[in-house]
Structure 1
Amino acid sequence: MRNEKTTEDVALGIRRRVFEHSIRNNGGYLSQACSAAEQLAWLYNEELTLGAPTLPLIPEPFGGVPSAENAGYHTGAGYNGPAAPEFDRLFIAPAHYALVAYATLIEVGRMAPEGLEMFNQDGSSVEMIGAEHSPGMEVHNGTLGIGLSTAAGLAWGRKRRGEPGRTWVFMSDGEVQEGQTWEAVQACAFHGIEVKAIMDVNDQQCDGAMSSVMEVGDIRTKFETFGAACIEIDGHDLGAMRDAVREPHAGKPLIILARTNPFHSMPILEERFPRLHYVRFKSDEERARFNVSIAADLGVDPIDYAQ
């Protein structure tokens, strides 16, 4: 299943949808759209080999947890297509990127725009913090740092079964503050697991700038020391992503460090630096100002959000 839009158009569409949602709802994950739009657009629009969605374009309500009485239970991975041996699998490790991930699914035709209207609503599967039943999600990664381990486990199983499909994980740089990430890299290197990951390195986390919470140093050198093939790129440069994925990594995990700007394309967000994790507007005046400024930067009309 291939989308006819250019990847550049998909990335712009992601930002526009997140912007509109955030203005209408008086807050949202704007910075994640600034830093990660190109990465998710590239994965879904170019790099991943996925089948057609197996779930309704308009997401169904939360269907309950797995149990013997809930035979119809399913994860949200069906929006990425069937889990067939020949197809790729994607794990989105930072569950707080869910709004950006949903916008991506819409832009590439895997979810209907109505799905975003269900975001964070009672009884909805379109969770604010993506869960295993949320569109595009296969497992719950709400505990930051477990995504690479999950992907590595699946990739190892696929390798043992001889499946040709690849296993990808989208990560955030806050995960390098978690020990499980480094254990996963070591396990991949030891077992020859060639999982691929692209990490949004925007130097931000929920409590502010990464450096103010826990200094992580030279993470490329660390990844290489722990046994990964690692390459650093400009995370807004699609050409650099296309080149990076060809980096040789036989018998090793590949970690692409995508260095990004957390207010790329929305420079007014710099006013909120370094507290950019979730932007809730402090006043009607600020909301109106951000509306006009970001709309101009994204080439759209300001949002009419009056109720």
Structure 2
Amino acid sequence: MQNVKTTEEVALGIRRRVFEHSMRNNGGYLSQACSAAEQLAFLYNEALTLGQPTLPMIPRPFGGVPSADNPDYVTGAGYNGPFEPHFDRLFIAPAHYALVAYAALIEVGRMAPEGLEMFNQDGSSVEMIGAEHSPGMEVHNGTLGIGFSTGAGLAWGRKRKGESGKVCVFMSDGEVQEGQTWEAVQAAAHHGIDNLWAIMDVNRQQCDGAMDSVMEVGDISTKLRDFGAVVVEIDAHDIDAMRQARAEPHEGRPLIILAHSSPTKGMDFLMKRFPRLHYVRFKSAEERDEMNTAIAAELGIAPVDLGGH
């Protein structure tokens, strides 16, 4: 698809859209938009080679799980384009980033804005925690830690078939607390799976607070290199650095970009809640009004009209 907006414009649009949605719905995954907006904007707007979406701009309702009685079941990967040998494939490993991913799809013209109005509604495929039938999702990654191994398996198969398309995994740093992630990195390096790359949102936050307070993971970059990956560390909000990192040679090994991010980037007002940033739900109408005014000013937009909400 042809780029209409710059990647910087897409990133700002993601933050604004997630903010407005969260204000209207009394909460949302605001910090994930802060930390990952540039990363998802970069992937969808320039880094990945994707075809035109194959699914309706306004997502269909959830049609049921795959079964003999549901032969028309499809995953949400159609929003990333068709499965063709020359197109890339994207796995969004942290399923709780779904709201941010949906906003990215809208900003690059792969899903209609009306799709976000279906978010977390009964019978909707636009799930709060993205499932395999949700827009942009190909597999269910609700259990953190399985995304990179899933991507490695697909990349290995594509390489054996001689397909030119690459496999990309968007990850969160909390996934390095899971052993399966390390097994996948080691296996990918051993088998020379170099059509695989990942970008990891290193925001040092997780559901129960700061990562170090839950489980200290040490020097992620050194560990990943020891397990065989080519690793590049960047500022997650520097898109030029992201471009340079993606161009890093990694013949015979997977590439992992560690994108060190701020969970309050563009919404500094959220520091009042630090380190409890995983999901922001307002404790009172006064708190929501205060946040609405402050963050709207930071994002350069008018406060959200909350009349009737």
Tell me the TM-score normalized by structure 2: 0.99
SS of the residue aligned with 1:224? Answer: helix
SS of the residue aligned with 2:83? Answer: coil
Which residue number corresponds to residue 145 of structure 2? 145
Matches within 5 A, 1:64-83: 64-83=64-83
Q: Distance in 1 between matches of 2:182 and 2:204?
A: 18
Q: Distance in 2 between matches of 1:45 and 1:246?
A: 16
Q: CA deviation at 1:3?
A: 2.4
Number of equivalenced pairs? 307
SS of the residue aligned with 1:197? Answer: strand
Q: CA deviation at 1:68?
A: 1.1
Q: Distance in 1 between matches of 2:305 and 2:3?
A: 29
Matches within 5 A, 1:1-307: 1-194=1-194, 195-307=196-308
Q: CA deviation at 1:2?
A: 1.9
CA deviations 1:167-217 (Å, max 9, x no partner) are 000000000000000000000011101210000000000010001000011
**Equivalent residue letter for 1:182:** W
SS of the residue aligned with 1:231? Answer: strand
Q: Distance in 2 between matches of 1:151 and 1:122?
A: 30
Q: Distance in 2 between matches of 1:297 and 1:2?
A: 30
Q: Distance in 1 between matches of 2:120 and 2:170?
A: 22
Q: Distance in 1 between matches of 2:93 and 2:145?
A: 7
Q: Distance in 2 between matches of 1:136 and 1:44?
A: 11
Q: Distance in 2 between matches of 1:289 and 1:157?
A: 51
Q: Distance in 2 between matches of 1:46 and 1:247?
A: 16
* Contact 1:152/1:188 (<8 A) preserved: yes
SS of the residue aligned with 1:90? Answer: strand
Which stretches of structure 1, 4 residues or more, deviate above 4 A after TM superposition? none
* Contact 1:145/1:180 (<8 A) preserved: yes
SS of the residue aligned with 1:258? Answer: strand
Q: CA deviation at 1:15?
A: 0.4
* Contact 1:3/1:109 (<8 A) preserved: no
**Equivalent residue letter for 2:116:** L
Q: Distance in 2 between matches of 1:180 and 1:2?
A: 37
Segment drifting more, 1-10 vs 177-186: 1-10
**Equivalent residue letter for 1:108:** V
RMSD of equivalent CA atoms: 0.5
SS of the residue aligned with 1:132? Answer: coil
Unaligned runs of 5+ in 2: none
Q: CA deviation at 1:247?
A: 1.0
SS of the residue aligned with 1:199? Answer: strand
SS of the residue aligned with 2:144? Answer: coil
Tell me the TM-score normalized by structure 1: 0.99
**Equivalent residue letter for 1:257:** L
**Equivalent residue letter for 1:91:** F
